[in-house]
Amino acid sequence: MPEFAPGDVFVDHRIEGLAGRGGMGVVYRATQLGLERTVALKIITPALADDEDFRKRFVAESRAAASIEHPNVIPVYDAGERDGVLFIVMRYIDGPDLRALVRAEGRLEPERAAQIVAQIGGALDGAHRHGLVHRDVKPANVLLDDEDHAYLTDFGLTKRAATTDGGGLSRAGGWVGTLGYVAPEQIRGERIDARTDVYALGCVLVYALTGSAPYIRDSDEATLWAHLNAPPPSEDVPPQFEGVVARALAKDPSDRYPSAGDLGRAALRAAGRSATALPERNVGRGQAAPLDGGTDATALQGAPADPDGETQLSPLDGVAAAAARRRRVATAATRPRAGAGAASPRPPRCSSPAPPGSRCSAAMATIRAPPRHRLLRRRPASCARRRSTSRDPACLRAPTR
């Protein structure tokens, strides 16, 4: 990976100084020559850049991230490859990331922690609406300015890897980056969606409240086991946040908050702050949409259509709705078909009288046949004339109506 010194120029950006260094690469404070504005220029580490699949996804997802217009998503100005070097140019934030803030000041006050998490929850909702799953939500990717305005950064900078040089596993099947925020479905190699980021954001909430990521153990293997099996942490978590943390860190994605915004609003309410009253919903589209919750809520609930077509049922509601649809289809298959006219129950195109043995004959016989309990309650007309003296077995069995 090339090392730049102040004054060097790379892709029309003059390097001003080193801003940070991590497992994903090096960030420089630079000046965009064409506009004379200060930007953050990130050079991706060769351990990632040399992987062809990562290179393709990095360019595609960087472009997708650049299309997200949200006040809590770091604006991306440019991304690409030059002379075999992957780079991304973003807005420069003159402030610490959440990890550096907590290391310097210790655990945050609950209200401040909830406010930061709610902002990142909104940013993730914006990404999920564009079909983008972040995959690596962690404190180091949450940038803060001097007014605690939070920005989410580093979309798409994760991959499966055989080895890593930074934090994380150093053996086959590991993840680039820290393991403190990885969801169980990522560990199991299952499909990920927006709820994977919800889990990671729940871990960020725990970190902000306690000063430590949840499930951290003495070894990587123990940490992975804890993510898969250990109950949600409660030690040092303020009591009013225990329910929020427990739901956010549920092992089954369908038991979590359906969206990151829902988690953020729940955190605000736990901190005693007012939050916009919105129904819980999935907002993910494309790859970010849960496979078990993709049914349009408006079709089943008769609600006004969402202007962006993004509202979906929560996963549990989607399963229940699918079961209800199956029951309706099964019931409709056993009922005779109704005609076009509301006043006539005959099947379409059936004439009267219908030919014996035909479909219409069987259907009309079913329609015309009275309920069985009415058949049992009827009495032959002759019984009325014979009164109670009749010994006709039909008259003796048939009760008087």
Residues with a catalytic annotation lie at 136
Amino acid letter, 282: N
Composition of the chain by helix, strand, coil, percent to 5: 40, 15, 45
Residues pairing with 10 in the sheet = 13
H or E element in which residue 375 lies: helix 372-377
Determine contact, residues 310/125, Cβ cutoff 8 Å.
Answer: no
Q: Which of 153, 5, 4 is nearest to 74 (CA)?
A: 153
264's CB contacts (< 8 A; 6+ apart) are 114, 117, 118, 119, 120, 121, 122, 201, 275
Indicate the burial class of 294 (C-beta count within 10 angstroms; 0-12, 13-18, 19 or more).
middle
Closest by CA position to 312, among listed 286, 287, 288, 281: 281
Q: Give the closest residue to 350 by CA, choosing from 367, 333, 330, 369.
A: 367
Q: Quote the tokens at residue 97.
A: 């990331």
246: nearest Cα among 238, 58, 342: 238
DSSP 3-state of 45: coil
Nearest to 167 by CA among 142, 143, 140, 192: 140
